[in-house]
Amino acid sequence: MRLLYLGDIVGRAGRALAVEKIPELRKSLKLDIVVINGENAAAGFGITSKICTELFEAGVDVISTGNHIWDQKETKSHISGEPRLIRPLNFPSGTPGRGSVMVQDARGRNVLVMNVMGQVFMNALDDPFAAVDAELKKYALGSTVKFILVDIHGEATSEKMAMGHFCDGRASLVVGTHSHVPTADAQILDGGTAYQTDAGMCGDYNSVIGMDKAEPLQRFTRKMSTGRFTPALGEATLCGVYVETDDQTGLAKRIEPLRLGARLHEHIPTV
């Protein structure tokens, strides 16, 4: 199976490029599934039902999120009726929406996507390791499900790495989000799980993690706020990871980063 995971969409620039390029990437990489993190898609803060529709129509199968999931008021009602939009699994019981979803590719193969949020330097949620462990125990990788993706939305690289090793041999891909900077450690772990600490973002990299530079610089240099953070609107770059798995085991045979766009050194896998 071939899956493309794209990191956090930041604002209009990242959103427009994703909508433009995903149909092309589905064809050129012969993709079976596309997953994207959409938690910064609406002007940098949250996601709307309209944006969800745009992404699904472009060829996205599942949208994961993170700590900005509730920034748009409409999300609390929209997420309950849209299972393909998921929020972190380790929110307390009773939180709207769900933390995982099962989808099928065009050949009818089951793909499980789960989203979890780290605890280090993040909002206090339930134990992400216990939440992921309980979910993984429900499925047999390579049998009842052909691909399991774990999106760990977190600040600390150590926590993301620990999650990768915790899931090794039980998931097809563990990928980090939230930092908005792609890491250079795409690898297949000892047990066969593909891993990258952070997928990076889909947005304008002539920025401070996707935001227009003026306000972050003001806050760092003068320790005062003069306004809201707003997404940078220059030419965007898509960042993510491409993974191929063995259908018999659900484990990874190949992982490569994807960088496509304006500013970073471009890297597009070939198939």
Alpha carbons within 13 A on the beta-carbon side of 29:
26
Q: How many of the other CB atoms lie within 10 Å of CB of 105?
A: 17
Which residues have a catalytic role annotated?
68
Distance CA 111, CA 1 (A): 10
DSSP tag of 92 = P
DSSP tag of 231 = B
Distance CA 257, CA 268 (A): 8
Q: Exposure pattern of 188-225 as b/e (b: 16+ CB <10 Å)?
A: bbeebbbbbbbbbbbbbbbbbbbbbeebeeeeeeeeee
